[in-house]
Every structure is written in structure tokens, then in C-alpha cells.
Structure 1
Amino acid sequence: MTESEIAVAAEILAQARRSGMQIEGLPVTPSSVAEAHEIQDRVATLVGQPIGAFKAGAPPEGEPTRGLIEARMIRSSPAHMSVVEVPHLGVEGEVAFRFTRDLPARAASYTREEIAQSVAVLPVIEVVSSRFREPLSRPKLEQLADCGINGGLVLGPEMADWSHLDLPNLQMTFIVNGETRIERKGGHPTDDPIAGAVALANMMRAGGGVKVGQIVTTGSWTGLPFLKPGDRCVVRFEKLGEAEIMFVG
């Protein structure tokens, strides 16, 4: 993408966020993760909302990615979100981490051990919704430019000392309207939840770093079901806790 194409894409997505109107797609699709991240950053500047959290992907073989999550769209469990706010009503049960100290910009990479000592853990529901009318039909890099089609984040109880938890093998239960949809041991897409937090810290160290209190959510254990107005869902991780959301009209 050219500089002007990146600027136009950012303005289109920023206007969609301001107006609440959905768009069909971008005039030009980003050709790299770096371009998609640049669009995200410009949208954040144009909209002017503080960033309270991130979603991060750390595939074992592939480029890490991140999506910005506006602080105003982070809610404590049990939470309500309206169809106006998050029209697509997608949900993903996840394990997230809150940074308990600043991780500033620096040249050296942050290690796994440093990150493990710098985070608390919590169950969350990532709410998936987009500025695109049909987000899953758009190319992956367009979805990434739209912050990985994130709509919001619901936070369960935080655990500061989680050294006793076998995070990849937690027993997870996913419940919709009182009906258990999924119940199993494990389910993280890479079997390594904290890898997303490590990747996020290292993606951000070339810029402003990560601030104490910010959160990173690290991949869905539940797939991506789409719900309906009035639906209530819970994701429960044994020994960790649960997060709950209800969608209202």
C-alpha cells in the first residue's frame, strides 16, 4: 500500500467507528501485517479513544499479530453489551493477562520468564464485531487492519499468583443460555497461552511499550460462535474463574 492508501483506509475505518455505520471493505487490502498494524495505529489516533487492551496471536510458524482494544469497550463480568455496540455478537472464550508493571520500549527482546513475572492471569470473553458488514468474508489482512475484528472484552476475576496453574490444560466449559456447548481439557489454539503475551510485549517494544494495567488476550478456546440478542454466555476455566456476558437489544 502507498502512504495515501494507508491514510485513506485509516480514515474510512475511523469514520465507521465514529458513525457506527458498517462498510463493505477497504479500497485496497493491506499487503503485510506491518501495514495492517499501521492502519490500526492511525485509526486509534484519529478516533482518540484510549487503548486498554490488545488481542495477540503468536502462531508457532508465522508472523505474530496484535489488535487494539478501546478501553471503553472493556467491561467487568457479568457484563451487558448492546447490539448497537457490537452488532455481530461473536464470542470467544479466552485466557488473558494483565501487565502488572510497565514494559517499556527497548532494543533487547523480552523473555518468556520476564513476561511470566510481569502479568496476572484472568478468564475473558473476547467479543467479536467489526466495522465490516460481513467481516469473515474480508481478507485476513483487512480483518487485522480492523483490529482483528474486535468488538470488546469482558473480564473475569484476576489471579496474581498463577504459578500453580497448568494453563494449557485447564478444564474449560462454555455455556450459552444455560446449555453446555463445550466441555473439555485444554483448547487453546497453540497450547501456549502466554506466548501471546510475550509476542505482544515484543511487538510493542519498538514503539511505546506496554503499560501497567493493560491487558492482552491470547486466542480462542471455543472457536467463534455468533449469538443472538438476549443470549447469555459463560466461559469457565476450572481453578481460574469465569466470565459472563449478555447481549441486549
Structure 2
Amino acid sequence: MMVLEPVDQAASALLQARRARRWLPSLPEACRPRSLRDSYAIQGKVLAELGPIAAWKVGAPRPDAEPACAAIATATTFESGTVIPAAMFHMLGIEAEIAYRLSSDLPPRDRDYEPDELIAAIGSIHPVIEISDTRFVEWASQDRFSHVADQLNHGALIVGEGRSDWCDVAVTSQETILSINGETSAAVVGGNPAGDPLRLLLWLANVGARPFGGLRAGTVVTTGSVTGVAFVTAPAKVAARLPGIGSVTATIGEDR
């Protein structure tokens, strides 16, 4: 009988939780990640099963904190207006975010990308909603390495139409209104604890995405919640409006 390596064991446990909807109290001690390197290796194994990468999430708790990231599969990336089956999820945490779509590849290389190279590779800015979820029984119950291994609580990403003149948007003073079933859940200005999102994208290009083959043209990168998370039950209609950028909507569960 073949014995799996710890990274493969952890990825298998997370994938089985998704498929069988039997949520994990934690990853087994023998295969729990002990470093961010372990966490990203587990992410890579999970993504190899979920499908090709369509997007990324990257964030940080403070402007001076080291970011963390998660690759997002095509299977959990949707356009605005989509009806998404509630059966995809264990929990439904709704967050409004600002994202960027790349117009050029940023492959791994020997020297770091400079800020002007990153700016030249960005094609547009977009309003997005992320549905936060977990493969663990309880929300926010795990150590940081396990949390990163589980795609940083990613459930789904819904991408609204954007604008190409993204440099004209003052993102740190951007207004965002998040609505759930027609009622305002959050209305904020700014709100991203990481500060300037371009710092996050530059870190992603130079560090976070390297083990995954870098960043590809067409990829969407979402840069962290600006509204905080609002938990809902299905069916639900969710919407985010970011004046000057655009709007994004989705229905979770039956269309009502």
C-alpha cells in the first residue's frame, strides 16, 4: 500500500471534505502544515485537482505586514449576475473587494519586478464579491498555516465589469456599499487593512505566485475585503456598488 507524503495527505483531506461535504475539525496532526512553504505546496496539490487558475486573492492585515495569497480555480470564478448553487458551500461569508485584471504575463524570473513593470501589466480595475468559506467545521478555528493551505477561506469570486483607466481611481478612499437581499450590509470608505493594493500585487508577482508559475494575462487579482465579512444563508441576493468603478451582483441558491 502506497503511503502518501504529508502534503499529499493534507491536500487529499481538503479535497475529500469538498467532495463529500464532511468538514474537518482540523487537518490530521501528521500532515498539518508547519510552514508557509508547506501551506502553498498543499494549495498547489488542491488546485491541480480543482482546475486551472483563473484568479488570485492576496491580502495583509496591516500595510507593513507580509502578505499571503491563494490561487483561485476557474471552477470557483464567476461573472456578475451569476446564480451560484448553494450546495457549493459550507459557509457563506460575503465580502466586497477591489480587483485588478492583468493584461500581460508576469512569469517568474531571476530579478524582482519593479513597480513600473507591474503598473504596465495591469489592464483594468474591477468590483468583486468574494464568498468566503472553509473546509473546516468551525470558522476561524485553525492555525495560520492550515488557514493558508485551505485557500485563505476562499469559496467563490464574482467579478463585475471594470474600467481600463484604473490609475484614475483613488482606491484607498473608494466608497463601497455592500447589499444583501436589497438591504445595506456595509457602507465604507477605504477599508482595506493592507493599504495600497499595488504593494500586494507586487509581492504576489515577485514572491507569492512564483511556486505556481507566476501570473498570466487575463488573471484577476482580488486584494482583500474592504467591508468585512457578512454571513448569510441561502437563497440570497448579494450586490456591491463601488462608485467610479462599477457594480457586481450574484444570487446564491435559487433565483428568487
Aligned with 2:246 (options 215, 227, 241): 241
User: What pairs with 1:171-190 in structure 2 (closer than 5 Å)?
Assistant: 171-190=175-194
- The one-letter amino acid paired with 2:28 is P
Moved over 4 A (4+): none
1:126 equivalenced with 2:130 (yes/no) = yes
Q: Equivalent residue of 2:47, what SS?
A: helix
Offset at residue 8 of structure 1 (A): 1.2
Which ranges of structure 2 fall in alignment gaps of 5 or more residues? none
Please point out which of 148, 163, 170 is paired with 1:159: 163
For residue 230 of structure 2, give the secondary structure of its aligned residue in structure 1: coil
Matched, 1:228 2:233: yes
Counterparts of 1:62-77 in structure 2, within 5 Å, are 62-77=65-80
Normalization by structure 2: what TM-score?
Answer: 0.89
Q: Trace 1:192-211 onto structure 2 (pairs within 5 A).
A: 192-202=196-206, 203-205=208-210, 208-211=213-216
- The equivalent residue for 2:5 is 4
Cα distance in 2 for residues equivalent to 1:194 and 1:241: 19
Alignment deviations for residues 184-210 of structure 1 (CA, whole Å, 9 cap, x no partner): 321111221222222211122455111
- The one-letter code matched in structure 1 to 2:229 is L
2-structure distance, mates of 1:131, 1:238: 34
Supply the AA of the counterpart residue of 1:183: A
Q: Structure 1 residues 10-19 or 165-174, which shifts more?
A: 10-19
In structure 2, the partner of 1:17 is: 18
Q: Deviations over 1:84-110 (max 9, x none)?
A: 112311111000111111111101111
Q: TM-score, normalised by structure 1?
A: 0.92
Q: Distance in 2 between matches of 1:60 and 1:170?
A: 17
CA distance, structure 2, for counterparts of residue 180 and residue 13 of structure 1 = 34
Matching of residue 135 in structure 1 with residue 139 in structure 2:
yes
**Is the 2:86–2:235 contact (alpha carbons within 8 Å) kept by the matching residues of 1?**
no
Deviations 1:132-165 (A, max 9, x none): 1223212222111011110110001121121211
Shift in CA distance, 81/48, structure 1 to aligned 2, threshold 3 Å? closer
What is the CA–CA distance in structure 2 between the aligned matches of 1:231 and 1:210, rounded to whole Å?
33
**Once superposed, what is the RMSD of the aligned Cα atoms?**
1.8
- The equivalent position to 1:96 in structure 2, one of 87, 95, 99, is 99
Decide whether the 8 Å contact of 2:187 with 2:227 is kept in 1: no
Aligned to 1:169: 173
Q: Say which of 63, 77, 81 aligns to 1:78.
A: 81
The letter of the residue matching 1:10 is A
Q: Percent identity?
A: 32
1:124–1:207 distance in 2 versus 1, CA, 3 Å: closer
Unaligned runs of 5+ in 1: none
Which one-letter code corresponds to 1:82 in the other structure?
Answer: P
What is the CA distance between 1:78 and its match in structure 2? Answer: 1.4
Letter in 2 for 1:4: E
* Change beyond 3 A, Cα 1:128–1:48: closer
Would the alpha carbon gap of residues 91 and 32 (structure 1) be closer, same or farther in structure 2, given more than 3 Å must change?
A: same
How many residue pairs are counted as aligned between the two chains? 246
